[in-house]
Amino acid sequence: MDIKLILILALAFASAATVIIMISQAYFSRAQVRRRLPGNQVQAISADGSSSTSVQDFISEYFSKERFGVEGPIQAKLRLQLLRAGFFRSDAISYYIFARVCTVCSVPICVFLLIRLLLPNTAFLVQMVLVAASTGIAILLPDAFLARRQGQLEHEYRLVFPDMLDLLVVCVGAGLSIEGGFERVRGQLRKQSAALGLNLDMLAAEMRAGRPMVDALNSLADRLAIDEAASFVGVIRHSYELGGDVGGALRVFSDDMRDKRLLRAEEMANKLSVKIVLPLALFIFPVILTIIMLPVILKLLFVFNQH
């Protein structure tokens, strides 16, 4: 068993040394570029955004989607998941791959070392089962984090979306087009929801690039992944196809969204009385019962001791 432990520790040390060497190579290669270029030229490159830090270069080079075979439908699906989770960088897939590789490599090693330190007498088979279980958990951790982050953003979008519709109705009623209304609205909404503001920035950039507005709105609905956004796109599309009043349709839809938000708040308030039963029974009721019964119990004990 000692030989197996030595081999595993040697493999862990070799893996860590390999990662350190790769990071060092990326760092020193960038340092050589800095020594060859004048100082003002390096600053200009960094300011333009065409060059990045050594860590970013390392991640983009060694954890690129092409190196790990993330292409085609898999790349599109992963990119959409990252956008829905609020990661808008162009190299977000590389960072996701880097985080996943680090998690899968580090968690089992840490678990094994903790077992050897805290539970040295555990059977080797049990240790391997625990390491295998931690490896499975490490594989699922990045996707679980993305799902949790996506759920938080969806809740945030649902809270802010009716406010966006109200502002858009005001802008359209004042004579602006839908495109102009989004240009005015996105600056105001960035204070309430930075993620929704970035999504609206992407929408504005797509429309300025010449993409049809309905297609750009469909992409926005896919990124937000909420029913309200899909319904909003349907209202805009039908208004344009049938030649109806866009401002009136938006006004009716905004009133409907406001009523839904009020109903959602009432539903949460009605659920509160049911949700409070469990903490009331577990924490509050025993304390009250103890306060009421403790004097009686003490008096009975005092009486029994006298007799």
CA-based torsion, 30, 52, 55, 18: positive or negative: negative
Residue 201 lies in a domain: yes
Torsion of CA 136, 140, 145, 147, to 10 degrees: -150
Are 270 and 280 in contact by the 8 Å Cβ rule? The answer is no
Tally the domains of the chain.
2
Residue 100 is encoded by which pair of tokens? Answer: 């996943």
Residue 180 lies in a domain: yes
Q: What is the pTM of this model?
A: 0.70
Residue 220 lies in a domain: yes
Residue 186 lies in a domain: yes
Nearest C-alpha neighbor of 97 from the set 56, 137, 55, 65: 65
CA distances from 172 to 57, 77, 245, 249 (A): 45, 34, 11, 11
User: Cβ-count burial of 99 within 10 angstroms (0-12 exposed, 13-18 middle, 19+ buried)?
Assistant: middle
Are 107 and 134 in contact by the 8 Å Cβ rule? The answer is yes
Residue 247 lies in a domain: yes
Domain span holding position 1: 1-37
Residue 187, pLDDT score: 81
Residue 228 is encoded by which pair of tokens? Answer: 């309200």
Contacts of 83 (CB under 8 A, 6+ apart): 223
Digit-by-digit pLDDT tens for the chain (307 residues) are 456 555 555 566 566 556 555 555 544 444 444 444 444 443 433 333 444 467 777 777 777 777 777 777 888 888 889 999 988 888 888 888 888 888 888 888 888 888 888 888 888 888 888 889 988 998 999 899 999 999 999 999 988 888 888 889 888 888 888 888 888 888 888 888 888 888 988 998 888 888 888 899 999 999 998 988 999 988 888 888 887 788 888 888 888 888 888 888 888 888 888 888 888 888 888 889 889 988 888 888 888 887 6
Residue 64, pLDDT score: 75
Residue 281 lies in a domain: no
Nearest C-alpha neighbor of 160 from the set 187, 192, 120, 112: 192
Residue 177, pLDDT score: 83
Q: Give Cα 283 to chain centroid, integer Å.
A: 33
Are 172 and 181 in contact by the 8 Å Cβ rule? The answer is yes
Residue 291 lies in a domain: no
Q: Output the DSSP codes for 63-122.
A: S-TTTTT--THHHHHHHHHHHHTT---TTHHHHHHHHHHHHHHHHHHHHHHHHHHH-TTS
Nearest C-alpha neighbor of 184 from the set 195, 197, 194: 197
Nearest C-alpha neighbor of 154 from the set 93, 105, 98, 84: 84
Residue 152, pLDDT score: 93
